[in-house]
Structure formats: structure tokens, C-alpha cells
Structure 1
């Protein structure tokens, strides 16, 4: 029986290898991109597709795109890329800043500064975003999305109960508590599911109102510089909100509880990004609620303290194992994805801050994110896969009452300090 099982496993591996080689062969004269640009499951697809078709009519690409757009989830996309990318498949993919760091560490991100510096449009793109992907003089990704996390709130509910937009953490707890008591909905919502990247990002949004970084990275070495007292303060905020403003059954929820909660009327306030506006195209019934949403800076611990928040940057990474003769065509394909017609669509329908200086937001909602872009803080150049799991574990320990905020902060402090030696991204040659 064991021999049969081994043979089946071997046969499966061979078939998978054969399928992969067939897929590579099929892609030799086409460009394979893994992103949400033409993913038919996302709301903007119906709006993008006609613009994309018209664009290609006027600007024909030397090589066509393959049908495969890769896994929909960022983490699964990253895992698959790191597993199979050395086969040269896909040619390029979209990733978050943290994932790009991992790709650089694995030698899976091609430097593109030579192509970019010779690009006549290079000065159109926000310098801060280009800098985010430039490490030791090498540019490893072409920025396509930037946003910051801000407080999104139901203007109608605050007006109904004569409540002010929360400016401090105490305000946030009190306003969220009032709305939960009077409306019977969650006054606030966090993402708290295990291994959910959004949970880490939300935590960092509040942490950045207290400190600029967790590690100091210099000369190829990471030094742990965080104060565990700041971790305890953020974790206390989680405890306070879950105690009075969030239904206990909402523990361990994923990003959908945040996004669809605020746009569906089950949640009054969240820390979220500009993509919330995109739900208007996904479900017109949510339009009334979405058009009544306000945007404000992340509340701060103490009145008058400067606000900071997590900045999310996404970019397109070119696979260094993609065929050399395709490289210019692949770069041109990436450039097409961030050309004016498509960024205009993104800005108009998702209200994302524009990465291009020649495009401005058309909505008050979107402009609020553009106005607060300079409060965003970019993560340090380290491998965040393990630290983000430590942080999510600390959140869960507090909300499930396995530890006090101080106890969870002590554990987190030790874990992140111990990780210091392996934190820096070591690049493969």
C-alpha cells in the first residue's frame, strides 16, 4: 500500500511538472502577469475591460497577455511565486511592500532602475513611492498603488446622536460605545483573524501614532528599537473597544467583516483604505451608506499629538527568471498598467490617491486620503512574515483574554527582540 502511495505521489509530481512545463511553453510568446488588474472577480473589472480593449487598439502590445492572472489572494500569490518563480512563470506580478521585501531576499525581484531611469515618464510618479521600492540604489518594483489607513465613519450616525468625530483614543472608545448601545451595531471593527495581513496593518496604524518604527535598519543590520509600553497601549485599545463597542462574536474576523461591515451598515467606524469607495460599483445598494461616509485622521492617544498611520504601497515586480528577450516587453506591459487611462479609473472609482502627478482625485472621499498621504509611514526593510504573526498572536491573546495587554506586550517584546538577528533581508546573489 505504501509503495502504491509513493508511486501516486511521484506520478502527481511528474504530471504537475509536465503541466508546468507545458504552461511555460505556452507562455513563451505571451506575457504572464499575476495581479488584480484584469481579474474578473473584482468590482472594477467591468469598468477596466472596455478601457483596456480600447487602449490595446490604439497601443498594440508586441506580446499578448496570457489568460492566467494568478491567485486572487496576495499571500497565496506570494507563496506560489516563491515556489515556482524560478521557472520564469509569471513574468511579473503585483505585491505589497512587505512581499516585495521577501522577493528581494529570495532573489526573485529584478532591478529595474536602468529601465525606469530611461523612461521619459519617470518624473510623473510620486517620488516617495519610487523611494519605497529603492533599496541600496536599486529599484525593485514599479509602484501602482499607495494608500494610508484612516478613520472611516458613518456621518449620519454621528450627526444623529450629536457626536464629534473621534480625535483621541478615548474619544474613539466613547463614540463607538455610544453607537453600539443606541444602534445595536458594532461601533467599531478590527480585523483579528490569524495570519490575516490586514490585522497586522491595522495594528501598525495605531502603533504609528506612538512611534515611527520597530527596527532601525542600518549597514545591513537591524536593531530592535521599540518600547514595549507602546505595544501595551495599542493592545489596551483593542481590549477597551472589544469590551464596550464590539460584539464578542466579532472576534477572529477577517477583512470582510471590516469592509463589508462598514459598507453594509453593520459597523459604524473602521480604520480602512480608499478602496471602500469601490464597493459602489460592486453593489449599488450600498451606495447610500458609502456616500455618507466621512474620512478623518487616525485618532491619537493624546490630544494634540501628531498623527501617523500605516502606508500601504503596492508595486509590480518583474521576475528575474523571465526570458531576457522579453524584459523590455514585460516592462512596457507594467508601464501600461500604470498609464493614465487606468490610473484615472482607479482614482475615480476606488478613490485611491493618485500615484501620478497629472491625475487628481474627483471625490471628497478620495481627496481626504490624498491630503493625508504624508502622514503615512513605510515599513522598515526587513522580512515581516514572522513579526506580523507575532503581532497578530498578541492581539488574539488580548481579545480572547488569554493575557493582559501588558503580558502580551512583554511576550511580543521578547519575540521581536529575539527576531532582530534574522530580521534584515539578506539578498541572494
Structure 2
């Protein structure tokens, strides 16, 4: 992919989406990883040399083109032994994405509370999405970076594998409030039994739709694939130039297609006997892929050009009245309203993506995590800050601002979300959240496999052949 098209699409997408969606895209822009671990006895120069060597090696192995801190610490063990240091003047925290008044106000409030309790000022730096990987890479090689960093949950394995994140296992074990976060939600943060990050806020996707058109045409909320297709057909027929259901064939197509595969009892990838195996060629997965691509090829409720569009491109079409339904996260509402001031709450709604026969389809449960950077001289203090920022009280307050969901079950099941017409459907889908392969190479597969599969089918290749090629690509990527 060329620099202009790829970088532009990535930048637009990542200005409005959460970390778990965008860190992977940034890595594929400048895919390189932080470097290797050294013992306490080795010199700082030796450590830097090893890290640079690993960055070069990983970059060569994983780069797939362009698509959408304190000074040197010594080795730590399970978050127990931390570098001894006097109380610092400040704690440095890295956040990803552009700040706005609401985000700034919340972070300032947390920082003031932390300073009052610990006597240490918190400095929050917001880093633009396209610069995140470059910034983290520089921190890894120089030994100068943040104390606390935000990180996408699917990227924890990538950075932990390069020994840039502190093993927080013991600290998390002693964090009482954190025990309320279900163990199933720590999958991406746990590598070989050790926890390297704390789940902060999460998100799933749902179908975003034009409420006013559904009302106008007497369409009920779809509960099955057949009902979803019938609704799309009715809208396409009644409104000239409007696609009933827009397919996503772009850089984040995996997130849009996975719920259909999972909602048909299919799989995308599985670890069998220590070997990763693609499962897109199984009957359940192929049936879902056939249904999805037939929205274009057979049913004609989505245009063929959709195979080149990601969720950002599609949201623009939705804002301009060119599509009636598409799959995206709760964060999309703000973007849609900014693009079209006439899209009031009585015109935009959301409902859980259904399974084939009825019920809520499983969704990719992405998340924004918080981690302690390995070179921080203030690791204990950094974790105290994480405990505050990821507390139940702060999660309840910040989740609506961020357009995400808390990981605390009682908050998720409470009236705040149950009675919210917009956030309710996303909260309803959250318990059905799933993840992909917890593998440092998954970001490479995630961004390319589904795009290539959908494109080849739309251009005439059979689903059987395209799925077989996709499985082969998954196998090679994850087992190399």
C-alpha cells in the first residue's frame, strides 16, 4: 500500500477510535518493536545495543507495508523488586490520540487527586496516533520514556515479548478492587501466566442504523440474519442510492466480519497442540463469509466499492445519508454528529448484531490498557496511579466520555447502561466479547487476511478458494 493512501486512511481512523483499534494500525505504519532484556550486571550501552538489534530483527520479520520513563532500570521480577529512588518531582503518563476539553479535564482531576495523596505531580502527554509506535520504539531504545503508558489490549503481547513492560503479577494480586474485573478479561494481558497490563476500558461493536428510516418504513429491530437482510433490502428498495447494509472490506474489516463468523458457531483461528491454525475454511466460517459477501454479489444491498472502505469511510457515507446500517463502536456517534449536525438522537440508533438464528453475536472485545514502562524508576508509584485511574469510580465517570465501557460487571449491568438507548446495545454485547490469537504476529494477520479474502471473493474467486488461502496465510504468519 502506498504511503499517501495508507497513512491518510489510518490517520483519519485513529483520530476517532480507541487505543485497541489504532495501536495495531500504527504498528503497521512503522512496524518495529522495542528491544531485548538485559541483566542488572550489563551496562546501559549493552542494553541499548541489544534493543536496537531486536527492533531491526522484528521490523524485518513483521513489516507489511503501510496501513491503516525514567532512565535505565534494572531487571524486575513479577513486579516485586523495583528500582529504589527518591520521590520524583513528577510522574509521566502517555495517552494516545488527540486531547479535547473533556478528556483533559478528567485527566487533570485524576492528576490532582493523585498529587494530593502522594505529593507527586502527574504530567500527561497525549501522543497523536500516527506517532505512537515511533514514540514507544524510541523510548525502548533510549531508556527514556513514560512511567505509565496507555496501550491497546491486543498489543500487550507484542511489547511484553520485547521486555518493555513491567511484570505486574504480584502488584495486581494485591489490588483488591482489581479482583472485581473478571479473570476472562485478562486474557490479552496475561503471557505465560504473568500479567503485564491492567484492563482499563473496553468496547465492542454493534449495528449503527437510521432510526428514522426504520420508523418510516415500519422495520423492526432485526433479530436474525434473515431479518437483517430483509431490512437492508427494504431500505435499498425504498431509498434510491442508499445501501441497506454497508460491508467493511478495509483495514478494520476483521472486526466487522468476525461477529458473523462467531455468530454462526465458527472460528477464525485456533491453537491446536501448540500450533496456530486458520479456521476460515471450516463450514461455519465459510457460510458466514458467503452471506457477508453476498450482500454485494447476490443481494445487491451494498456496493462493490465497499470492499475498499473501512469504518471511517463508511461513517462518512452514513453521515451523508448514503447507507442505512453499518458495524462500528459506540465512539462513532460523536464523529457522525460532528459530520452532520442534523443527525440527532431520534435519527441514529444502535442494536446488537444478531447471530444467524437469533441472539446476540459474539464481538471482538477490544480494550484500552494501562501498563508500567520497564525503564521507569518509579514503578511502585506508577502502579498506584494505575490503581486510581482504573478504579471503579474513575471508570464509571470516564467511560461515557471516552465512548467505551467499564470492565466492572456491576457497572456494566447497572441502570446507567441498561437505560441508555445508545450505550445499552453495546453493553448488552459486552458479555459476549471475544478476542483473537494472543500472539505478537496477530496484528499482521488482522490487518491483511480479511481484507485480501473479501477483495478476492468480490472480484470473482470462490469463498472456498479464498478461505483456504487465508488460512494458509494465518498459519504462516503465526507459526513462523
Preserved CA contact (<8 Å) 1:48 1:345: no
Which residue in 2 is equivalent to 1:254? 310
2:408 corresponds to 1:369: no
- 1:66 deviation in Å? 4.3
Which residue in 2 is equivalent to 1:201? 255
Q: Which structure would you say has the larger RCO, counting Cα contacts within 8 Å and 6 or more residues apart?
A: 1
Preserved CA contact (<8 Å) 1:179 1:268: yes
2:395 corresponds to 1:343: yes
Which residue in 1 is equivalent to 2:189? 133
User: For residues 339 and 358 of structure 2, what CA distance do their matches in structure 1 show?
Assistant: 39
SS of equivalent residue, structure 1 residue 393: helix
- 1:269 deviation in Å? 0.9
User: For residues 69 and 95 of structure 1, what CA distance do their matches in structure 2 show?
Assistant: 13
Preserved CA contact (<8 Å) 1:191 1:255: yes
SS of equivalent residue, structure 1 residue 191: coil
2:229 corresponds to 1:173: yes
Q: 2:466 aligns with which of 398, 408, 413?
A: 408
- 1:331 deviation in Å? 1.8
Which residue in 2 is equivalent to 1:33? 93
User: For residues 344 and 287 of structure 1, what CA distance do their matches in structure 2 show?
Assistant: 27
Q: 2:451 aligns with which of 392, 396, 407?
A: 392
After superposition, the Cα gap between the structure-2 partners of 1:246 and 1:225, relative to the gap in structure 1 and judged at 3 Å, is closer
User: For residues 225 and 249 of structure 1, what CA distance do their matches in structure 2 show?
Assistant: 27
Moved more, 245-254 or 222-231: 222-231
Which residue in 2 is equivalent to 1:222? 276
After superposition, the Cα gap between the structure-2 partners of 1:305 and 1:341, relative to the gap in structure 1 and judged at 3 Å, is closer
Preserved CA contact (<8 Å) 2:246 2:314: yes
- 1:143 deviation in Å? 0.7
Deviations 1:101-142 (A, max 9, x none): 212232233211212222232234344323442233211111
Preserved CA contact (<8 Å) 2:330 2:423: yes
Two-structure CA RMSD over aligned residues (Å): 3.2
Matches within 5 A, 1:10-409: 30-36=90-96, 39-40=98-99, 45-60=100-115, 62-66=119-123, 68-73=125-130, 77-78=132-133, 80-82=135-137, 84-88=139-143, 89-183=145-239, 184-193=241-250, 196=251, 198-211=252-265, 213-217=267-271, 220-224=274-278, 227-243=281-297, 244-263=300-319, 265-279=321-335, 282=338, 285=341, 288=344, 290-301=345-356, 303-304=357-358, 307-320=361-374, 322-323=375-376, 325-340=377-392, 342-350=394-402, 352-357=404-409, 359=411, 360=414, 361-362=416-417, 363-382=420-439, 383-388=441-446, 389-399=448-458, 401-409=459-467
Preserved CA contact (<8 Å) 1:232 1:409: yes
- 1:384 deviation in Å? 0.8
- 1:24 deviation in Å? 6.9
After superposition, the Cα gap between the structure-2 partners of 1:190 and 1:29, relative to the gap in structure 1 and judged at 3 Å, is farther
User: For residues 387 and 227 of structure 1, what CA distance do their matches in structure 2 show?
Assistant: 16
User: For residues 36 and 263 of structure 1, what CA distance do their matches in structure 2 show?
Assistant: 26
2:471 corresponds to 1:417: no
Flag structure 1 segments of 5+ consecutive residues without an equivalent: 1-16, 18-22, 423-429
User: For residues 333 and 408 of structure 1, what CA distance do their matches in structure 2 show?
Assistant: 48
User: For residues 213 and 292 of structure 1, what CA distance do their matches in structure 2 show?
Assistant: 35
Moved more, 180-189 or 58-67: 58-67
**How many residues matched?**
384
Preserved CA contact (<8 Å) 1:33 1:90: yes
After superposition, the Cα gap between the structure-2 partners of 1:84 and 1:212, relative to the gap in structure 1 and judged at 3 Å, is farther
Deviations 1:286-325 (A, max 9, x none): 551x454333332333x247732222233123222x23x3
After superposition, the Cα gap between the structure-2 partners of 1:24 and 1:187, relative to the gap in structure 1 and judged at 3 Å, is same
Which residue in 1 is equivalent to 2:42? none
TM-score, normalised with respect to structure 1: 0.77
User: For residues 267 and 371 of structure 2, what CA distance do their matches in structure 1 show?
Assistant: 25
- 1:367 deviation in Å? 2.4
Flag structure 2 segments of 5+ consecutive residues without an equivalent: 1-47, 49-68, 72-87
User: For residues 246 and 224 of structure 1, what CA distance do their matches in structure 2 show?
Assistant: 27
After superposition, the Cα gap between the structure-2 partners of 1:178 and 1:300, relative to the gap in structure 1 and judged at 3 Å, is same
SS of equivalent residue, structure 2 residue 199: strand
User: For residues 304 and 280 of structure 1, what CA distance do their matches in structure 2 show?
Assistant: 29
